[in-house]
Amino acid sequence: MSDPPTGTVTTKPGESSRSTLDPIVLEPYTGEHQMQDITSLIEKELSEPYIVYTYRYFVNQWPSLCFLAYSDPASSTFNAAAAAAAEGEREAVGVVVCKLDRHLKGSRLFRGYIAMISVKHSRRGQGLAKRLVKRALEEMVGNGAQEVVLETEADNVAALALYERLGFIREKRLHRFYLNGKDSFRLVLPIPKSMQRPIPPELDLPPTTGLVQPPYPPPPSHAPSSQESLAITNHNTSHIL
**Considering the entire predicted model, what is its pTM?**
0.74
How many CB atoms neighbour CB 208 within 10 A? 10
In a domain, 190, yes or no: yes
In a domain, 161, yes or no: yes
pLDDT in tens, 185-209: 999 999 999 999 999 998 887 655 5
In a domain, 2, yes or no: no
Q: What is the pLDDT of residue 234?
A: 41
In a domain, 51, yes or no: yes
Distance CA 140, CA 134 (A): 10
**Burial category of 65 from C-beta neighbours within 10 Å (exposed 0-12, middle 13-18, buried 19 and up):** buried
Q: What is the pLDDT of residue 8?
A: 35
In a domain, 8, yes or no: no
**Burial category of 52 from C-beta neighbours within 10 Å (exposed 0-12, middle 13-18, buried 19 and up):** middle
Distance CA 168, CA 240 (A): 17
Containing structural domain, residue 25? 17-240
Question: What is the CATH number for 160?
Answer: 3.40.630.30
In a domain, 231, yes or no: yes
**Count: domains in the chain:** 1
In a domain, 97, yes or no: yes
pLDDT in tens, 20-42: 444 899 999 999 999 999 999 99
Q: What is the pLDDT of residue 44?
A: 82
Low-confidence ranges of the chain (pLDDT < 50): 1-22, 77-78, 80-86, 210-236
